[in-house]
Amino acid sequence: MRDLPGGMRSSWAPLIPAKALAGLVCQPYALPGSSADSGGERGPVLAGTVYPAASPGAMASPRADVQAVVTERHRMGECPVWEEATGQLVYVDIHAQTVCRWSPHSGQVQAVSLGHRVGCVALRGREKGSYVVAAGTRLGLLDWDSQQVTWVAQLDRHRPHNRFNDGKADPAGRFVAGTMPEPSAPGVWEPAQGSLYSLQENHSVLCLADRLGIPNGLDWSADHRTFYHVDSLDYAVHAYDYDMQAGTIKNRRLVYQLPRGRAMPDGLCVDSAGTLWVACIDGGKVIQVDPQTGFCLRTLDLPVSRVTSCCFGGPNYAELYVTSAADGLSPEQLQREPQAGHVFKVSGLGICGRPCFPFVG
């Protein structure tokens, strides 16, 4: 991984003013070397076929800017969520067992310890400071002011080495989260141990899928009919048909395959144009993927290798927030990556995100 002096690459040259983004409806676009130009790097359409990511130099732009906004060294920063009601970024540090909240106005980070490895967090209802969390193998409701969690469900009792990983609320307000096995050795996971669960409004739980590798990043298309999901152990992003009424998935197909043994796909979010932004842990990058064509539209390089997840936030959702991890790096690597574990803000992308959905239970 190359160490970058705070810069990054992006395919967009123009910097759109925030006011212009307020009413912006983002549209799919063609880039030199993309699918519309017949020379771009394409993600696979058929399962089992591996295509490389976008050419590193083909989509560079000096306009996009990366800035470390949270400079605490998190062990495993993950699952960023923009809380519009308070103008704060909420995220977790899995290995520190904390839910964190960063204010761009004060620059301060608050944290609540849950006593278990916390995989993900989502907003709950319209109340400020109310969240749904997945920690260990339990799902719960966190009240920030009291720092108390009401646990409502426990899963994977038959798999004592599992824990919850990434999760997100769906457009109907269900909380969807996956469980994964802890590694048996560094970089080694037992296959087919993961499951994907959906917490309903009445706190009952539906199993959406099992025998997964490492369930990870997830999000939905703008029309809510497609569910995107990362299985890190497969090095793949998949799409499913999503039944909004029932909250179920079917018809899995491959959207994008990363080469095995290199950077793993991790967290994921969808922008208002419908393209996917996939964080690549141990790859030092976030890639933008067109799910309709399987093309990698651009690569955003960061000054850290363990890039874990991303979400849009800030004014008009025009900023991309990216989490990272320090755990898993050697002392020599940490010296080369002094910003490992920081949270980054990427601005000047020329595209906007969308508000996240809250859990309604």
Instruction: List residues with catalytic annotation.
Output: 266
Strand residue runs (E) in 171-327:
175-181, 194-199, 205-212, 215-220, 226-231, 236-243, 248-257, 264-270, 276-281, 285-290, 295-301, 307-313, 319-324
The token pair at 305 is 């290798």
Are the C-beta atoms of 269 and 353 separated by less than 8 Å? yes
Backbone angles phi, psi at 46, to 5 degrees: -105, 140
Select from 119, 131, 100, 79 the least CA-distant residue to 361. Answer: 131
CB within 8 Å of 335: residues ≥ 6 apart? none
Please tell me the distance from the alpha carbon of residue 185 to that of residue 351, in angstroms, as a whole number.
Answer: 40
201: alpha, beta or left, given left = phi > 0 and alpha = psi -120 to 50? Answer: alpha
User: Where do we find the tokens 């996939």?
Assistant: 278
Are the C-beta atoms of 117 and 94 separated by less than 8 Å? yes
Q: Return the ∠ at Cα 339 (arms to 303 and 15), rounded to 5°.
A: 50
Select from 297, 300, 275 the least CA-distant residue to 219. Answer: 275
Q: Is 283 helix (H, G, I), strand (E, B) or coil?
A: coil
CA distances (Å), 154 to each of 98, 133, 134, 141, 231, in order?
19, 12, 10, 13, 22
